[in-house]
Amino acid sequence: MRPIVIFGTGELAQLACVYFSQDSIRKVVAFTVDRKYITDGHCMGLPIVPFDEVTIHFPPDQYDMFVAVGYARLNAARAEKCEAAKLMGYHLASYVSSRSSVWPDLLVGENCLVMEGNVIQPFVKLGNNVIVWCGSLVSHHVVIRDNTFIAAHAVISGHVSIGQNCFIGVNATIRDKVQVADRTIVGAGALILENTRENCSYLGTASSNSGIPSHRLSALL
């Protein structure tokens, strides 16, 4: 298993560094970002090298890469850097936390990150460049396609299909056998009971002020 260079220096990149370094047999050796974003020479004690020079310092026949970019532009920003890294010749590494409950038949594409506390049942397929944050349920026979981000504590029921470049928010619930179309945003706490349409967003209802002073309810706490 070859050492890894992480693209990015933000919070996701720092988390990925911890996960790969402390919960896998991989070793992270450096970070890389576009030259114009370099303001310091190091991140977490490791060197930061310009992306246009990364092959000189860490050649792709000896090192792999993980692209740790968030869900900007419905994950398109991360997908573009994945493609750029592959054109340079890099293999894109994936990580599945040992602290998640997964089955041996789980299929995981490249540049995927599955954090701790997830329950992923049998017959699940993750495409390329999929991030599953912590504490979610991915039920049996679920397919999550490329460039999708699943936020914390989502519930994805059995036989759900999630398309490309989707975002599933915190505490969202998707009923069984639902088809989530490409480029769908499911907001925090949303409940999806039927198929979605491409390029649409489905938002949960925010809690409002009840008008009851908190001290009147304090006896119930």
> Are 55 and 77 part of one and the same domain?
yes
| Domain coverage including residue 31 | 4-87
> Are 102 and 139 part of one and the same domain?
yes
> Are 68 and 115 part of one and the same domain?
no
Q: Which whole number is the average pLDDT over 95-110? A: 98
Residue 216: its pLDDT value, please?
86
The CATH number that applies at residue 42 is 3.40.50.20
> Are 98 and 192 part of one and the same domain?
yes
Say if 74 falls within a structural domain.
Answer: yes
How do residues 27-56 score in pLDDT, each as one tens digit?
Answer: 999 999 999 999 989 999 999 999 999 999
Q: How far apart are CA 102 and CA 148, in angstroms?
A: 19
The CATH number that applies at residue 179 is 2.160.10.10
Task: Name the residue among 70, 74, 69 with its Cα closest to residue 183.
Answer: 74
SS (HEC) of the chain: CCCEEEECCCHHHHHHHHHHHHCCCCCEEEEEECHHHCCCCEECCEEEEEHHHHHHHCCCCCCEEEECCCCCCCCHHHHHHHHHHHHCCCCECCEECCCCECCCCCEECCCCEECCCCEECCCCEECCCCEECCCCEECCCCEECCCCEECCCCEECCCCEECCCCEECCCCEECCCCEECCCCEECCCCEECCCCCCCCEECCCCCCCCCCCHHHHHHHC
How do residues 154-174 score in pLDDT, each as one tens digit?
Answer: 999 999 999 999 999 999 999
Q: How confident is the model at residue 221 (pLDDT cuts 50, 70, 90)?
A: confident
Residue 177: its pLDDT value, please?
98
How do residues 116-148 score in pLDDT, each as one tens digit?
Answer: 999 999 999 999 999 999 999 999 999 999 999
pTM of the model: 0.95
What separation in angstroms does the CA of 202 have from each of 33, 75, 168, 194? Answer: 33, 17, 10, 11
How do residues 202-215 score in pLDDT, each as one tens digit?
Answer: 999 999 998 989 88
Task: Give the total number of structural domains in the chain.
Answer: 2
Residue 12: its pLDDT value, please?
98
> Are 100 and 191 part of one and the same domain?
yes
